[in-house]
Amino acid sequence: MALASLDYKVAFLKRDKFRLQETYPHEPLKISVGKLPASLPRNEFVFSRIGHSNKYHLTWQLGQLRSSGTYQFGEKIRLAGLQFTIRKNGNSPTTCVFRFISPKALAQRITSALHVNDMQNGNMINLQIRDPDPEFAKDALNAVLESYLTFDKAQRTRSINQSKAFLTQILGDIDQKTANSGASVQQYKENQRIKTISSTLNEQDEQISALNTHKQTLRMNRLSIAELGLRLSSPDSNGIVSYGLEAIADEQLKHLFSHHNDLLQKRQTLLTVQRPSAPAVKNIDEQILFCKKAITSKVNTQKHHIDGLLRLIDYQLDSLQDYSSQFPGIERHLNSLESKFEVNKKIHDYLLEKNLEAEISGAAVVPGAFIVDKAVAPAEASFPVPARVYTLAALTSCAMGVLFIFHISKTPYLLQGDNIEELTDVPVLSTIQKYTASLPSAHILPVYDDPRSATAESFRMLRSRINFLCPNKPNKIICVTSEISGEGKSFVAANLAVALTLINKKVLLVSADLRRPSLSQMLKSQTTIGLSQFLSKQVGLNEIISATKIRNLDFIDSGPLPPNPAELLHSKEMRDVLDHLKEHYDYMIIDSAPTGLVADSAELIQHSDINLFILRYGVSRKSLSATMGALQTNTPVPNLYLVLNEHKQDKLYMSYYNNQDNN
């Protein structure tokens, strides 16, 4: 009922900062909705008027499909079960946005926003609706309240309406009978030309008429008593029987009905302050049940008594009719017709009077509730509260900062800003800047492909420092390893090899990680023969050495993955080949397996002149001191140095090396 009174099918929208807001109750366009589906998608229609013509442009989106069209004012538009018409008026805007609202969506909007608060120890209820549009909330709440009063009044007059319908039905039958009996008397008198009846016949007829009247009265009383009993037990009524008690001749039965009504009213009064399960309410319920049983018993007794009186009257009527059979048949038949007419007329008048009483009673019924204060639109929004939002934002920011600091302090991974010297005694040789790839290749060598980058400069710095190590050895073997996979040892080995070739050093890059090799992808090598085949004596040394596209750089691939990589790397052939190749290259850079996972690189570390241990920010753990200590304790490592990989670039450093105008 509230939705019908609102008649809110089209919502017009306007842009308010970052969202669309309804303009209710303002309607810039006149839109007549002919058909509205039960469920509608929340899609906006954009209206654009075309100059001063009779046409307009409409744009909408249904699902993922965006459509548009040009229409005339007054033209009926049909879209996906939706029918509407936009009519022209003098104040039509140039452009506007609107959305259709289905009854289901509108009902959900009102019910979800409606809050009902019962006041304790009272009979008042406070209702509120929270909605972004205060005018809509006001009209919706007032519509709900008015609809509730109408519904409450209809519920209270249901019993009276049932009685009126019952009386109207009987009146229709009596009207017909009265008309038929009156017509029969008149027609019989005209046919028989009768004007007067003898006094004896009149006396006899008066007795019969009185008995018939008494008989009809008893029938009406029996019918009234039965109807009151039905209303007492009807599940649709509220139980209170107030109309029709005057038709009961038995004062005791009237008293029982009055006592029953008083108990029901007392129960309704108790329910305003107590629950249905309260002892007082249960006591009233037991009294009501006992009273109903007494009324039912008394009604049955009255019906049996009236039935006996009706049988006695029928017996008396039969006697009178037998006695009057001695009179002429014409006069007897006329008297019977007139008697029926009089009886029907009296019953008709009686029913008219009762029907009028029922209408008066119905007009006197008022709703059981009334509106104390109607809803009004507030001047200010109740939510969100700016002070509360700012306070919550400040507290949340502080909490997040504390949690972030706590998380950073408790993280097991190595982060920038951590003091490496406090974690291990191994010296840090160099720091490699994190490379932000400006080229599309996944496996890129910044020293070769992007020499002007800060990462390439980091490798040139590492190259300079390596030149100061082991000055008494003209040819050097450099082993590059790490604790776990993913710390960038292959990346460092490849770029360091390229950096050494730039100063005219002859370099051999060896992929000695026989478990997860990756150097061949960085160098884009196509060879299929490698170190594992040489160590297993399947090929010769010259077959595994291949030249690369980079000048002065040769490469030995790992080859097919063997089942026993540790045994192959610890073999005499491996030591011999390193000693042999060392004489032909200025630098040999060996990319070995991680030391924290497998023991493959132990022999290579002992045979190398310089050992670079790679740490990567965000990947390597702070427990590296334990790994370094175990590595030094088990097998003392000569010339062990740390290289920190993926250090974030500062803007000044990065802009200096990325400046294309810098010569």
Query: Using one digit for the tens of pLDDT, what is the confidence trace for 131-148?
Result: 888 999 999 999 999 999
Query: Which of 124, 126, 123, 155 lies closest to 274, judged by CA?
Result: 123
Distance CA 409, CA 422 (A): 15
Distance CA 248, CA 112 (A): 51
Same domain, 474 and 622: yes
Q: How much of the chain, in percent, has pLDDT values that exceed 90?
A: 17
Same domain, 100 and 163: no
Same domain, 326 and 187: yes
Average pLDDT over residues 71-89: 86
Within 67-157, residue ranges assigned H as helices are 103-113, 134-156
- DSSP characters over 297-335: HHHHHHHHHHHHHHHHHHHHHHHHHHHGGGS-HHHHHHH
Residue 401 lies in a domain: no
Strand bridging mode 95-100 / 10-16 = antiparallel
Contact 461, 492 (CB under 8 A): no
Same domain, 128 and 163: no
Same domain, 352 and 498: no
Proportion of the chain in helix, strand, coil states, percent, rounded to 5? 50, 15, 35
Same domain, 268 and 299: yes
User: Residue 659: its pLDDT value, please?
Assistant: 47
Q: Amino acid letter at 338?
A: E
User: Residue 654: its pLDDT value, please?
Assistant: 45
**Owner of token pair 């008015």:** 146
Under DSSP, is residue 533 helix (H, G, I), strand (E, B) or coil? helix
Same domain, 473 and 341: no
Of the candidate ranges 266-270, 301-305, 324-328, the one whose mean pLDDT is the lowest = 324-328
Same domain, 647 and 538: yes
Residue 77 lies in a domain: yes
Highest mean pLDDT among 99-103, 286-290, 499-503: 499-503
370: pLDDT strictly greater than 60: yes
Residue 595 lies in a domain: yes
Torsional class of 559: left (φ above 0), alpha (ψ -120 to 50), beta (otherwise): left
585: pLDDT strictly greater than 90: yes
Name the domain boundary from 315, 337, 363.
363
Residue 33 lies in a domain: yes
For the chain, the average pLDDT equals 81
User: Residue 280: its pLDDT value, please?
Assistant: 83
Range of the domain at 219: 157-363
Query: Which of 208, 184, 209, 196 lies closest to 328, judged by CA?
Result: 196
Name the domain boundary from 363, 387, 420.
363
Same domain, 297 and 340: yes
Count: domains in the chain: 3
| Confidence grade of residue 465 (pLDDT, cut at 50, 70, 90) | very high
User: Residue 488: its pLDDT value, please?
Assistant: 87
Residue 519 lies in a domain: yes
User: Residue 273: its pLDDT value, please?
Assistant: 82
CATH number at residue 497: 3.40.50.300
Same domain, 173 and 122: no
Same domain, 276 and 343: yes
Name the domain boundary from 320, 341, 363.
363
Residue 235 lies in a domain: yes
Residue 400 lies in a domain: no
Distance CA 424, CA 629 (A): 8
Digit-coded pLDDT (tens) for 384-432:
888 888 999 999 999 999 888 777 666 766 666 566 777 777 888 888 8
Distance CA 192, CA 330 (A): 8
Task: Pull the structure tokens for residue 160.
Answer: 């009276």
Same domain, 479 and 613: yes
Distance CA 527, CA 579 (A): 24
Residue 121 lies in a domain: yes
